[in-house]
A and B are shown apart, each in its own frame.
Chain A
Amino acid sequence: MNRSVPLLFLNVFVVATCGLIYELLAGTLASYVLGDSVTQFSIIIGLYLFAMGVGSWLSRFVENDLAERFIDIELAVAILGGVSAPLLFFAFANVSFFSVVLYGMVFGIGALVGLEIPLLMRILKDELDFKELVARVLALDYVGALVASILFPIFLVPTLGLVRTSLVFGILNGIVGLWGTWLLTPLLKPGKIVFLRIKGVFVITLLVIGAIKADSLTVLAEESLFQETIIHAQSSRYQRIVVTRGRTGFSLFLNGNLQFSSFDEYRYHEALVHPAMIAFEGEPKRVLVLGGGDGLAVREILKYPSVEHVTLVDLDPAITSLATDLPVLAELNKRSLKDKRVTVVNSDAYVWLDRTDASGFDVAIIDFPDPNNFALGKLYSTRFYKMLRAKLRPDSTVGIQSTSPLYARNSYWCIVETLEASGFKVKPYQTTVPSFGIWGYVLAKGSEFERPKEIPAEIPLAFLDKDSMAGMFDFPVDTSRPDNELEINRLDNQALVRYYEAEWRRFE
């Protein structure tokens, strides 16, 4: 037994490291999916420490077979801690009582970890003086915590991610447990050793399988998606909204799809809004924005002093609220949605167009997410564009975001041809938005028209000028209208969703 004492101290160190890793995992994961990291970390640290206290107190009820109980507990921590991150991701996606699972998990792991140190101290008490014992065990415990807290953000999360970190430390924990069956052999009943080893091997095997399969676990999707720190996350009735911050600014994701990055969104929004505003003959007064709940397109529209009224129709009140309430976003959109010229309507644009009496808009800007599902696909259909036309004047102009003509060439040109089939004359154009790549738009009008040429001098722009705007209307060979015949996107065929799915699937 004496010989293995130093090794048992190594054991304390590993146990302490693993314990803190599980705590950090839970905290990160909770702030990750629930947002509000201060609250989440605070509650999880508090709950975890409390649970450790409960565990320590419970250790007094363990009277006999200390070594055996200790190994059992280590294996239990291994399995619970090891599956914690994948299980929590899964729970978040699939159950309504996620917080119960989260806090239950944190409490369970905390209590088990709390049992470990008192038991180990009792196992070692005959080998060392009390003062030596306390000094060494606690010192190693805290060193383990330090190592964990440094490794976690610098090495583990960036390279392994949450799910694999969780599984790897579970495996490590399991190995320590299994190793314990040798270190503590003298203290174990001979008949029990084999059984404990089988348990240990079983736990490790289970976690190794989990680690190998981790790639295919769909729960990993969100984790690997965001490379940057999440500063806001919420699930609205309609979608999952995540805002991240990185070195170049911040980004908004809806259902995991990038909507804009603050570093180059001005390129996207200037290109979306100004051609339509300029192509309108006369001074645009009444503007309709469909989608665009982030308020960034409205920011561009409000640069025109002639604009008297903007109606913005966006499905999700969570987005339009975020646009005014999230400081970084409100600053970026210059509080455009709070402007008294702006009316915000939260409705599905299709349903709104079908029912509204509003009409006579000079310019319409359409800024919907890409058509990656049927509910969005209807917003790019002939029926939709015909309803829109009925709300416009004969000389109104429309600017439409139309996905990438490079990544989704058929999809882009399907939108162009659907607009043509709906009675619009079109001028397709494209530009580069680094966050997105080559991006496509369509400028449309009810009657024949010329490309917009002059940009009014009083409109402050960071990206577009006369020459760059002229260049947008030329399509290089790899993005030009394809030779194959394209289907028109109608409600009863939703051809666009099918093109889009086929084309973007290549990049997944």
Chain B
Amino acid sequence: MFTRREILRAFLGLPVALAACKSSSRTNAIDGRIVGASNEIGHILRDRRKFEVPVDRWTDVDTVIVGGGIAGLSAAWSLKRKGFNDFLLLELEERAGGTSASGSSDLTAYPWGAHYLPVPFAQNTELVELLDEMRLIESKDEAGELIIPEQYLTRDPEERIYHKGRWYEGLYLYAGASEEDLRQYNAFYSEVGKWINWRDPEGRRAFTVPVSSCSTDAEVTALDKISFAQWLADKGFSSERLEWYCDYACRDDYGRTLSQTSAWAGLFYFCSRVPAAGEESQSFITFPEGNGRFVDHFVSRIKKNLQGSSLVAEVIPGEEGAEVVYIDTKTKQARGIRAKNVIYSAPMFTAGYLIRGFNDSPPFAAAEFRHNSWFVANLFLKERPKNRFERDFPLSWDNVLYESPSLGYVTATHQKGIDYGPTVLTYYYPMAEEDTRLGMQKLLSLDWKELSDICLADLERAHENIREATERIDIMRWGHAMISPKTGFIWGGEREKAMKPFRNIRFAHSDLSGIAIFEEAFHHGLRAASEIEKTG
């Protein structure tokens, strides 16, 4: 057992732990629970039990999609759009969505994970089709790029950062920056600018979305062999603010620190959404429920082909297709499906556990696809979090604490224009342990009270009234949240191997890009679906 101080110290650092332990931990009046993510159910599979399916519980379906995150949903959406109906998507949770899940209260919907999509470039035609179908495109500009209705773009004030008692606009801490800090910041952006404008002999960009469209030129892929921290050091960057800014970027997009992220992935964050050097980065499309809006759209289209509460226990490839054994987690009954095709859109590291024969001659090293853990807390507030100073930059969409290992919080009511009274704040905390398994163990060892205390102690430094204002905290522990783009992973060869089918099983997941973002999951879902259409 750990003391409160030890836990707070491990998650937030000693000063916060000491400060929080001086004040009382008034969480008694706050309601809440741990929600979703069936960690216990999923972990049954590690025991490699064999499930017998009685003869009368077998059915035949042309295509089975294993896993209803964005990749699986996108594959299903794509099949449906092409008029293909003979498929079934099996999802472990009651509701599909993976880390794009969302919830809702009387006041507002709110995200449980991914919560924005940068406006895609017009060349990403597949994604443009989705946005068009969702009526998210107002028109196109002269260059053919998308114009999105303003209510779906992040409303100003977008971001603010808390440092030593005050909130400032933006994510880079300009306040108190020395001339050298600013010089390095500008020099960093001119380095980034070089990569934005860089093209290989075939005219491909170094960094673009999806990853499969990026240049494979050795000059670029070499960046994957060093960490982002190393790259910054090599370029002579030493400004603490700049390092923080880049570290924040890595934690925000990948749940990893500067030294745990490859330089390729780090630069991908800064380069892939900017049209040309010196131009603004693409705006964000966002909703109160975050990317839950996309999940709901997919689900509305494929409702009849979606089956939740279904734990896939084994995928058995055969001569003519594959058999999929799953457990209905509500009735605890084992059932079987004989399918011609399987789209495997669960995290890649599970392949060795679920696919019979996978480990006999592994087509790729499943264990190399390492996921890191996060916890996400939704705080239901009866009033706004108070700033210490009235003239501080006001509550924004994204609110980041400079000194915190968390990513701060997003305001769910922001996009709805609700600027007064109750609100819901979504707080993100990535477990940035060097060893991702340790991070997960540490996370799963903590209960609701401990996790909500971490979240409150963290926010309390910026908002004295947070404990009084909070009525409820619900917490999601994402044990396997997203792929870690560690040094050497993205261009190390494993992804390419996993993009090839294994017998009749096709893999589709953002893992295959090494970057856990909506666009990549969507891309792989569509790719796998189109491969089936070709063979079918």
Contact = CB atoms under 8 A, between A and B. Distances in A.
B394 A383 contact: no
What secondary structure prevails in chain B residues at the interface with A? loop
Nearest to B283: A492
Interface in B416-462: 416-421
A373 B150 contact: no
Contacts, number: 51
Contacts of A348: 417-420
Interface string B123-165: 0000000000000000000000000011101111110000000
B279 interface: no
B150 A374 contact: no
Interface string A213-239: 000000000000000000000000110
Given A373-B394, A374-B394, A382-B150, A237 B420 contact: yes
A375 B394 CA distance: 10
B390 interface: yes
Contact of A354 (B153, B390, B417, B420): B417
Interface string B402-425: 000000000000001111110000
Contacts of B155: 378, 491-492, 494
B156 A354 contact: no
Interface in A69-113: 93
A238 B420 CA distance: 7
Interface in A337-395: 348, 350-351, 354, 373-375, 377-378, 381-383
A93 B386 CA distance: 12
Interface string A470-504: 00000000000000000000111110010000000
Contact of A492 (B150, B418, B420): B150
A443 interface: no
Interface string B377-394: 000000000000010001
Contacts of B283: 492
Given A374-B156, A374-B394, A492-B283, A351 B150 contact: no
A178 interface: no
A167 interface: no
A383 B416 contact: no
Nearest to A350: B417
Nearest to B157: A374
A491 B418 contact: no
Given A93-B390, A373-B394, A351 B418 contact: yes
B153 A491 contact: yes
Interface in A375-430: 375, 377-378, 381-383
A315 interface: yes
Name the residue in A238, A377, A493 with the highest tally of chain B Cβ atoms < 10 Å from its Cβ: A493
A235 to B, nearest CB: 12
Contacts of B149: 383
Interface size class of B (residues with CB under 8 A): 10 to 19
A237 B382 CA distance: 12
Given A383-B150, A383-B151, A492 B156 contact: yes
Contacts of B150: 381-383, 490-492
A492 B417 contact: no
Interface string B148-184: 0111011111100000000000000000000000000
**Interface size bucket, A side?**
20 to 34
A455 B450 CA distance: 70
Contacts of A493: 156
A29 to B, nearest CB: 19
Contacts of A350: 417
Contacts of A93: 390
A497 B155 CA distance: 13
B57 to A, nearest CB: 48
The listed residue with most B CB atoms (<10 A of its CB), out of A377, A383, A492, A497, is A492
With most chain A CB atoms within 10 A of its CB, the pick from B150, B153, B390, B394 is B150
Contacts of B419: 348, 374-375, 378
Nearest to B154: A492
Given A378-B155, A381-B150, A491-B151, A351 B417 contact: yes
A179 to B, nearest CB: 40
A197 to B, nearest CB: 38
Nearest to B421: A237
Interface in B194-239: none
A377 B417 CA distance: 11
Contact of B420 (A315, A374, A382, A494): A315
A381 B419 CA distance: 15
Nearest to A375: B419
Contacts of B157: 374, 494
Most buried by A among B151, B156, B158: B156
In this complex, the member of A93, A350, A375, A378 whose beta carbon has the largest number of chain B beta carbons within 10 angstroms is A375
A315 B419 CA distance: 11
Contacts of A237: 420-421
Contacts of B156: 374, 377, 491-494, 497
B394 A354 contact: no
Contacts of A381: 150
Contacts of B158: 492
Contacts of A492: 150, 153-156, 158, 283
Interface of B: 149-151, 153-158, 283, 390, 394, 416-421
28 contacts: A93-B390, A237-B420, A237-B421, A315-B420, A348-B420, A350-B417, A351-B417, A354-B417, A374-B156, A374-B157, A374-B394, A377-B156, A378-B417, A378-B419, A382-B150, A383-B151, A490-B150, A491-B151, A491-B153, A491-B155, A491-B156, A492-B153, A492-B155, A492-B156, A492-B158, A493-B156, A494-B155, A497-B156
Given A374-B157, A492-B154, 19 more contacts: A238-B420, A315-B420, A348-B417, A348-B418, A373-B394, A375-B420, A377-B156, A378-B155, A378-B417, A378-B419, A381-B150, A382-B150, A383-B150, A491-B153, A492-B155, A492-B156, A494-B156, A494-B157, A497-B156
Closest 4 CB pairs of A and B: A494-B156, A375-B419, A492-B153, A350-B417
